[in-house]
Structure 1
Amino acid sequence: MKLLLFIIFGAIIMINGNPLNRECKCKAVSNTVHFPFHSWDISSCKLCSCNDAAMVNCEKACKAMIESYSLTGCGKVIKGSKVKYSWSAGSCSEGVSKVEYTCA
C-alpha cells in the first residue's frame, strides 16, 4: 500500500511539476530565436495552488521586469536590440510575449 501511494505521488510530481514548491521565473529573450539574455527568479511559494497571487501575477511581474530592463539598455546588449519576455509559473502557465521591447 505504501509503495502504491509513493508511486502515485511520484507520478503526480512528474506530470504536474512539483506541487510543493512553485516558482515564477522570468527571462529576457531575443525577439527572433528566443536566446536568453538574462533571467530572474521572481517569486516562489510552498504548498500553493495556481490561484496563488505569486502564480497568477507571474506574467505581469515578468512584463514589468522586462520593461525596466529594456529602459536601462538590456545590460551589454547592442543598443536598439529587441527583446521579449518569457515566463514560467511552475506547472500553472508559461509562454513568450508577442510584444517586443527595444533596448535603450
Structure 2
Amino acid sequence: MKFFVLVILTLAIAANGNPFSRKCKCKAVSNTINYSFHSWDISSCKFCSCKNAAMINCEQVCGTMVENYARTGCGKVIKGSKIKYSWKASSCSSGTSSIEYTCS
C-alpha cells in the first residue's frame, strides 16, 4: 500500500511539477525569436498554493525587472535591441508579454 501511494505521488509530481516547491522565474527574451538574454529566479515558496503572493505577482514583478534591465542597457546586448519578458510561476501561470522594451 505504501509503495502504491509513493508511485501515485511520484507520477503526480512528474506530471504537474513539484507541488511542494513553487518558483517564480523570469527571462528577458528577444522580441522575435524568444532567445533568452538574461534570467532571474525571483521567488519560491514551499507548500504554497497558486494563491500565494509570490505566484500571483510573478508576472508583474518579472515585467518590472525586465523594464529596469532595458533601462540600464541590457548588459552586453546591442543598444536599441527590443526585448520582452517571459515568466513561469511553476504550474500556476506562464507566458510571454506582448509589451516590448528597448535596450538603452
Q: Could you say whether these structures have the same fold, taking a TM-score greater than 0.5 normalized by the shorter chain as the test? A: yes
Distance in 1 of aligned mates of 2:80 and 2:58: 26
Distance in 2 of aligned mates of 1:90 and 1:2: 28
SS at match of 1:50: coil
What is the match of residue 72 of structure 1?
Answer: 72
Is 1:5 matched up with 2:5?
yes
What is the match of residue 31 of structure 1?
Answer: 31
Superposed displacement of residue 54, structure 1: 0.3
Distance in 2 of aligned mates of 1:49 and 1:15: 17
Amino acid aligned to 1:89:
A
- Ranges of 4+ aligned residues in structure 1 off by more than 6 Å: none
What is the match of residue 103 of structure 2?
Answer: 103
What is the match of residue 85 of structure 1?
Answer: 85
What is the match of residue 56 of structure 2?
Answer: 56
SS at match of 1:94: strand
User: Which sections of structure 2, spanning at least 5 residues, go unmatched?
Assistant: none
The count of aligned residue pairs is: 104
User: Which sections of structure 1, spanning at least 5 residues, go unmatched?
Assistant: none
What is the match of residue 14 of structure 1?
Answer: 14
Superposed displacement of residue 12, structure 1: 1.1
What is the match of residue 94 of structure 1?
Answer: 94
TM-score, normalising length: structure 1:
0.98
Distance in 2 of aligned mates of 1:26 and 1:103: 17
Distance in 2 of aligned mates of 1:21 and 1:93: 15
Amino acid aligned to 2:102:
T
SS at match of 1:63: helix
Amino acid aligned to 1:75:
G
Residue range with higher mean Cα deviation, 9-18 or 59-68: 9-18
Q: In percent, how many aligned pairs have the same letter?
A: 63
Deviation per CA, 1:80-104: give whole Å up to 9, x if none.
0000000000111111001110001
Distance in 2 of aligned mates of 1:2 and 1:65: 45
